[in-house]
């Protein structure tokens, strides 16, 4: 199999896994169910991903890579005003993603999976640690007066704020009761944490 075909097949497998998570829930995310969804034999699936854990790691890494890239864009040196605009843009993007039913449901399923499955918990914890470290280094450029411990604390607060807000946006029940200013307040709170 050529490298392009392998890459295409892996992309197809991860898309099927994501579809299963969103439409059926993480309990139905089995290698057999993924193979059936893709229309391949289990052995063919295992050629690309030897185990569910390996496939899950690839899925979560893909889920996290776009997030990382947006944070890295923010880390570029610029004025405080431009930095503030970048932070707003990042938060807008993350919150908009979570308003999308498929992304919001994926986020909730990954969080639920991490409560029951040690490998998923390890991957999610690793993701949040990487994001905390990346945000902490970003904060150093945005607010150089902060000590390292304070940057780490503020990074964790910002992640908690944005990701916690995403839970409300991902749920049709919870988002119905939110005032129109909810997202504006989330962004303002994140800016206060960074520059306050």
Residues 92 and 161 reside in one and the same domain: yes
Which domain range does residue 30 map to? 1-50
Last residue of a domain, one of 11, 28, 50: 50
What pLDDT is recorded for position 45?
94
**Residue 106's CATH number:** 1.10.357.10
pLDDT by residue for the chain (196 residues), tens only, comes to 566 577 899 999 999 999 999 899 989 999 999 999 999 999 999 999 999 989 988 988 887 777 777 667 666 666 656 766 777 777 777 777 777 877 778 888 888 889 988 888 988 888 888 888 888 887 887 788 899 999 999 999 988 998 888 888 888 888 888 898 998 898 889 888 887 7
**Residue 18's CATH number:** 1.10.10.60
Number of domains in the chain: 2
Measured over the CA atoms of residue 133, residue 77, residue 166 and residue 186, the dihedral's sign is: positive
Residues 79 and 162 reside in one and the same domain: yes
Alpha helices in the chain (DSSP H): 3-24, 31-38, 42-48, 52-74, 80-99, 101-116, 118-142, 148-170, 172-176, 182-195
Last residue of a domain, one of 10, 26, 50: 50
Residues 115 and 24 reside in one and the same domain: no
What pLDDT is recorded for position 78?
63
Residues 27 and 91 reside in one and the same domain: no
pTM (2 d.p.): 0.74
């Amino acid at each position: 199999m050529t490298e392009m075909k392998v890459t295409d097949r892996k992309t197809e497998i991860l898309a099927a896994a994501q579809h299963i998570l969103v439409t059926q829930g993480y309990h139905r995310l089995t290698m057999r169910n993924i193979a059936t969804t893709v229309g391949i034999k289990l052995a063919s699936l295992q050629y690309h991903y030897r185990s569910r854990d390996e496939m899950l790691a690839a899925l979560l890494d893909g889920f996290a890579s776009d997030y990382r890239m947006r944070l890295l864009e923010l880390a570029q040196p610029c004025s405080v005003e431009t930095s503030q605009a970048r932070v707003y843009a990042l938060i807008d993007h993350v919150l908009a993603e979570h308003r999308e039913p498929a992304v919001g449901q994926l986020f909730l399923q990954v969080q639920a999976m991490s409560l029951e499955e040690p490998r998923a918990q390890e991957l999610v914890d690793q993701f949040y640690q990487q994001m905390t470290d990346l945000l902490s280094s970003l904060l150093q450029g945005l607010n150089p007066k902060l000590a390292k411990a304070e940057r780490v604390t503020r990074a964790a607060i910002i992640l908690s704020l944005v990701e916690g807000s995403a839970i409300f946006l991902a749920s049709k029940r919870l988002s119905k009761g939110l005032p129109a200013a909810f997202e504006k307040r989330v962004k303002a709170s994140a800016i206060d944490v960074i520059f306050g």
